[in-house]
């Protein structure tokens, strides 16, 4: 019957309208707030930073990202916080694997490298070690520092991953000149690659 | 070429365009609403543990005892939840070594003031937090400048957080850093009427 066909057509269009409008609107908003885009973030290999984090004139996505994740960032004109969820080959950071991160000097700037689980919680470990900073890391004779991320003890700068499954690394660099270069899109010194050594 | 399901061919172009327009509006409204409606902000999480206008020294972050997610763990923190709706706030702290910072944040997490250690000749800092110019018009008075050597920092909101961060060079420096942080203070000071 033509009437039934018409009703079915209206229903299909209503459902499609609702799914596209609500699903699309909320879904894209969630993606832009949680993952970010080129509008609000800048990526260097596996490291991503929200370029306007902490600034009172930040874009709405950055502000929403800060609020939703209960963050308290310093203004990105002074300090940049990078987060990595994957290694340099794109594999998800996982406690079952061992990683090596070679920290070059940031021209004397203060930096910190910390490991968290995917929710931003510190990872329980017997060594009670959660981060290395430019002050606490042991350096090689050439000034570089090799930080090893592994479940079991390693010589040198060992950052334990404990029993966490997925890992997030957070690199904080406090250097206004460096932050300005990143914000303005100028070329900057490469961030340390995260090399997967072995997986068990 | 794969054949589309029959029901999908029934969706009209007007529906798609209308849904895209409404989806865009929902996208904008949802993004703008998060900072206003978000209940899990850093300020909300700390509100219960920090008394108003008092500097609180926090224990070293540890698993299960983190004040906030993703907070730099190799650092000691002193925080003050302020409310300048009635009085101004006097903040005193020493920012002793590189990496140390004194920062001020709105309840939404905006960092409207930050002072890193390396910009200072003397580590001791004394600041007065006052309501911003737009807020002051509600009082029709000028906040009292406590002394000529103090800096006034206008706060864009009545409430907010003062955070003093002291990165640790190692456990040997912990006692020294803790002693310096414990001397940090924030106290309400009367505004002149």
Distance of alpha carbon A162 from alpha carbon B51, whole angstroms:
35
The closest CB to that of A20, out of B23, B99, B161, belongs to B23
CB contact under 8 A, A69 and B74: no
* pLDDT one-digit tens code per residue, B6-19: 777 778 888 889 99
Residues 4-63 of B with CB under 8 A from A: 7, 10-12, 15-16, 18-20, 22-27, 30-32, 34-35, 38, 40-42, 44-45, 61-63
Gap between the terminal Cα atoms of chain A: 64
The closest CB to that of B26, out of A22, A75, A123, belongs to A22
Per the model's pLDDT, the better-predicted residue between B170 and A59 turns out to be A59
| Percent of the residues in chain A that have a pLDDT greater than 90, as a whole number | 60
Give the DSSP H or E segment for A13: helix A2-18
**pLDDT given for residue B139 in this prediction:** 46
Contacts of A54 in chain B (CB under 8 A): 105, 109-111
| Percent of the residues in chain B that have a pLDDT greater than 90, as a whole number | 60
Is residue A116 pLDDT above 50, yes or no? yes
**pLDDT given for residue A6 in this prediction:** 85
The per-residue pLDDT of chain B, averaged, comes to 85
Give the DSSP H or E segment for A111: strand A110-117
**pLDDT given for residue A77 in this prediction:** 87
Residue of A nearest to B40 (CA): A70
Is residue A2 pLDDT above 70, yes or no? no
- In 3-state terms, what secondary structure has residue A48? strand
Chain B contact for A25, CB < 8 A? yes
**pLDDT given for residue B135 in this prediction:** 52
* pLDDT one-digit tens code per residue, A15-56: 888 999 999 999 999 999 999 898 999 999 999 999 999 998
Chain B contact for A64, CB < 8 A? yes
Chain A contact for B154, CB < 8 A? no
Chain B contact for A132, CB < 8 A? yes
Q: What is the DSSP track for chain B?
A: -PPPPHHHHTS-HHHHHHHHHHHHHHHHHHHHHHHHH-S--HHHHHHTTS-BT-EEEEPPP-TT--SSTT--SSEEEEEEEEE-SSSEEEEEEE--STT-EEEEE-TT--EEEEEEGGG-SSSEEEEEEEE-HHHHTTTTSPPPP--TTPEEEEESSSEEEEEEEEE-S-GGGHHHHHHHHHT-EEEEEPPP-
Residues 72-111 of B with CB under 8 A from A: 72-75, 98-99, 101, 103, 105-106, 108-111
pLDDT band at B121 (very low <50, low <70, confident <90, very high): low
**pLDDT given for residue B140 in this prediction:** 42
The closest CB to that of B63, out of A23, A123, A132, belongs to A123
- Report CA-CA distances (Å) from B108 to A64, A172, B53, B191: 9, 21, 18, 25
Contacts of B30 in chain A (CB under 8 A): 25-26, 29-30
* pLDDT one-digit tens code per residue, B33-89: 998 887 789 999 999 899 999 999 999 999 988 999 999 999 999 999 999 999 999
Q: Which of A133-137, A141-145, B37-41, B175-179 has the lowest mean pLDDT?
A: B37-41
pLDDT band at B22 (very low <50, low <70, confident <90, very high): very high
Interface ipTM above 0.95: no
Residue of B nearest to A162 (CA): B63
Instruction: Find how far residue A17's CA is from the centre of its chain.
Output: 35
**pLDDT given for residue B141 in this prediction:** 43
Q: Which of A24-38, A133-147, A180-194, B122-136 has the lowest mean pLDDT?
A: B122-136
CB contact under 8 A, A114 and B74: yes
Angle at the Cα of B140 from the Cα atoms of B134 and B142, rounded to 5 degrees: 85
The closest CB to that of A110, out of B11, B18, B167, belongs to B167
The closest CB to that of B108, out of A63, A116, A119, belongs to A63
**pLDDT given for residue A50 in this prediction:** 94
- In 3-state terms, what secondary structure has residue A84? strand
């Amino acid at each position: 019957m033509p009437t039934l066909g018409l009703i079915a057509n209206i229903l299909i269009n209503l459902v499609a309208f609702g799914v596209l409008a609500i699903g699309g609107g909320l879904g894209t908003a969630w993606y832009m707030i949680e993952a970010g885009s080129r509008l609000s973030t800048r990526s260097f290999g596996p490291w991503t930073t929200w370029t306007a984090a902490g600034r009172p004139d930040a874009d709405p996505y950055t502000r929403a990202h800060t609020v939703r994740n209960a963050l308290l960032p310093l203004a990105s004109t002074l300090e940049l916080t990078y987060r990595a969820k994957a290694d340099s080959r794109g594999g998800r950071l996982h406690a079952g694997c061992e990683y090596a991160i070679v920290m070059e000097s940031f021209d004397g700037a203060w930096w910190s490298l910390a490991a968290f689980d995917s929710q931003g919680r510190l990872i329980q470990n017997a060594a009670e070690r959660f981060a290395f900073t430019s002050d606490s890391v042991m350096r090689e004779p050439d000034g570089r520092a090799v930080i090893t991320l592994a479940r079991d003890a390693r010589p040198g700068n060992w950052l334990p991953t404990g029993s966490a499954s997925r890992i997030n690394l957070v690199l904080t660099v406090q250097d206004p000149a460096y932050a300005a270069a990143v914000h303005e899109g100028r070329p900057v010194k490469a961030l340390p690659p995260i090399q997967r050594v072995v997986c068990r | 070429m794969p054949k589309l399901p029959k029901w999908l061919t029934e969706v009209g172009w007007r529906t798609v365009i209308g849904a895209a327009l409404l989806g865009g509006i929902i996208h904008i409204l949802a993004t703008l609403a998060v900072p206003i409606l978000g209940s899990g902000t850093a300020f909300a999480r700390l509100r219960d543990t920090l008394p108003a206008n008092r500097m609180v020294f926090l224990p070293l972050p540890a698993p299960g005892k983190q004040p906030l997610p993703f907070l730099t763990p190799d650092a000691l923190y002193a925080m003050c939840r302020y409310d300048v709706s009635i009085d101004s706030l006097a903040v005193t702290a020493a920012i002793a070594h590189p990496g140390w910072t004194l920062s001020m944040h709105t309840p939404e997490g905006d960092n409207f003031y930050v002072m890193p250690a390396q910009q200072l000749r003397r580590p001791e800092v004394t600041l007065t937090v006052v309501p911003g110019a737009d807020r002051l018009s509600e009082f029709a008075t000028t906040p009292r400048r406590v002394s000529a050597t103090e800096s006034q920092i206008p706060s864009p909101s009545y409430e907010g957080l003062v955070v003093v961060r002291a990165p640790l060079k190692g456990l040997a420096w912990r006692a020294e850093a803790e002693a310096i942080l414990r001397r940090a203070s924030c106290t309400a000071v009367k505004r002149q009427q």
